[in-house]
Structure 1
């Protein structure tokens, strides 16, 4: 499939639409679709909505990207990760139907997910946008049941535009005529773009701070909208930013007509790897039994601010980063919010990644924002060095979902 990839990634819907037509339009045969876009929080919001829907007894298809350890994570068919045999079968079918035409990896695998979903009965389909929204391969759904736009910030500017309004315009491309849209916290310039697009299409908006509110009181999550107030457990996913994501998930469930029990399940039952995930088992954790070991795949300034806020809220402890990033990211923007909370950073290159930032460049970027830094060949080597000097430290492995995936694969108990 990779040999079919265009020489340049040009975001268009034509290739996906051509293949879906050849497959007899599986995108028209899906259960009601909830389409989620945004810069940060898409995956977490989807995970909470899935937990809520499943808590209400519904069967849910879910599509997400990228995967961390195995490709199968991207496609959940009626609640279960797609099997190796079924994945192979539908990829073969899509490859044959494509007839050797140019198509991206994401486009053909998105079509495969739609094919799998169309052939298995379920109550809802959760679709996470891959990149942007307007011309993302998932945006071939003309009449979803609901759209959700999580916080928009600067990321992927080479594809989506240099300014926040431009990027917000791409995300707002998932808004459909007459379809309700849940909007998470936004900068004013982004919200203006989203509101203008919704007004043109007559799409009812449910906007954070206007139509729904979420806060924390006495270690409980308080959600309020026009139909009343909910007093719920705190989200199982850690971090102040997850409160906002939880609010968007609850707002979506309420618009779809689900009750308080479903909203509570969204809080307590959601899981989402590599989002401030505490690693307590596996070879890596066992090699450092006294270290508090964390893993996070956030890779832009907004994600780093969310991590910084969580580090500030945790009990005080010497904190070290093991960091590897892609060369397409704003490394300084990522490092800056973390600097006040970090003792030292060990820079690594991401194994097997062509676009990895060299560890030396990552280390220099850390020093530029005031973080003491060194380089290491591997995550294991970095952790070993930290243990020598700070055997009871808090250690956060961070900077990229690709690094997080590498860690999760290598940390599997044999």
Structure 2
């Protein structure tokens, strides 16, 4: 693809809507070029803009942030000013022509995708495009992928599809959909870049910002939560205490139960208030509390709708619990990565620079082989949970493997 004039890139690369996209200058330039092409700017090749985009990158790199910023810039007459009604409503998830698919359960169903695709084929009501933003395209069922593929193959003139997924691997996005999208690959942001944003934009004190950025393994959202939330910091401390708390088989089951209980408790606290408000709003919309003639009949007829809402909330709670567990497992895998590095004599910076004593103690106990086996056990647990193995079984198997690895090392 030919390059745009330097003056144009200098004018667009720092559009305000892209401010939250940390350490991704290459992606900002490509997206800015596409926005310029969509406006027909002179000197910009029309091929810079296309109707289907796939944003890939590791968790926390900003896939959905990039997609939403791009959606705002495409709708905005000023190419992403950040303060017009288009930019503000896209950021608030309320723009009438930007339809976001954010899976609350384990998958995105074919029914949901068909509804979105049908609506996306309409002409824009207020903006320049109808935009479909799928935040977790790797959760599309086979039927949903097929429904999306047909729309991507034969798009309406003013429809743009923005998909987000961890990678272009067929397990994440089907080959046929991938082949019809332009891929924007995002990188893991550096710790200094994250710390700078936390301090400058979020008002976090520099020391806390540096610490949060250094332990978040490049995950911007995780760093922001650790910097702001004492409860999140305490949960991390409890998770990382596990490797030094396994002295007996009884500890295996006790620590497994505590890890699961913390995940359930956090997921429950995140869901309860939201669920109650949703049910109350739905019942009100369906006429609950009415005293007219048809009030009783309307209430009876709405029972099925309320039940469907409750089913969706239960599915969302399951997804939330698994996301919380996965976050804990990512922290744990980072700890054992540090253990492996230290046991091999590496001088690479620790992912957990605030825990050098614990890392060294576990490294001395496990050695390189034991540390590698521990990393494998944690990663196997993450994969098992993703494949719908019951979390209790997956967690207990992992913790038992961690305990057994330490015991073998002691007896050697």
Tell me whether the two structures share a fold, i.e. TM-score over 0.5: no
The structure with more helix, counted as a fraction of residues: 2
Give the alignment's TM-score, normalised by structure 1: 0.29
Q: Report which of the two structures shows the higher radius of gyration computed on alpha carbons.
A: 2
Give the alignment's TM-score, normalised by structure 2: 0.29
The structure with more strand, counted as a fraction of residues: 1
